[in-house]
């Protein structure tokens, strides 16, 4: 009978997300977003996004995002703390 109490905990351990692989996937997504030619591939269709480099002027480098921290809320949701730089 005691084994039945532990069974849910064992199942939760098996269902835990692979955070290392998820961090790599998030980094790849940010890298693709930074490339203007690939940006549309990481956005939802019909996304209303002002281009981050819409104020681009000659002699000014484009805007890039860099991941600083990833915090997982659940296996499907993560908050990404990123900074923009030129």
85 lies in some domain: yes
Look at residue 28 in the predicted model and tell me its pLDDT. 92
Judge whether 9 lies within some domain: no
Q: How many helices (H) and strands (E) does the chain have?
A: 3, 2
Q: Per the domain annotation, does 22 fall within a domain?
A: yes
Q: Give domain status of residue 70, yes or no.
A: yes
Range of the domain at 32: 15-39+58-86
In this prediction, residue 65 carries a pLDDT of 87
pLDDT tens sequence across 33-67: 888 888 878 878 887 766 655 555 666 677 788 89
- Domain annotation covers residue 86: yes
* Dist CA 13 CA 79 (whole Å): 22
Least confident span in 12-16, 22-26, 70-74, 81-85: 12-16
Number of domains in the chain: 1
Is residue 50 in a domain? Answer: no
Among the residue ranges 4-13, 25-34, 49-58, the one predicted with the least confidence is: 4-13
CB neighbour class for 73 (10 Å; exposed up to 12, middle 13-18, buried from 19) = exposed
Q: Output the pLDDT for position 1.
A: 43
Rounded percentage of the chain residues whose pLDDT exceeds 90:
3
For residue 35, being part of any structural domain is answered with: yes
Whether 32 maps to a domain, the answer reads yes
């Amino acid at each position: 009978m005691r084994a039945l109490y532990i069974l849910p905990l064992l199942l939760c351990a098996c269902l835990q997300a692979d955070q290392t692989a998820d961090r790599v996937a998030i980094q790849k997504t940010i890298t693709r977003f930074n490339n203007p030619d690939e940006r549309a591939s990481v956005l939802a269709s019909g996304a209303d996004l002002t281009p981050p480099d819409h104020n681009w002027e000659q002699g000014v480098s484009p805007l890039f995002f860099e991941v600083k921290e990833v915090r997982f809320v659940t296996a499907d949701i993560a908050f990404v703390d990123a900074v923009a730089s030129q």
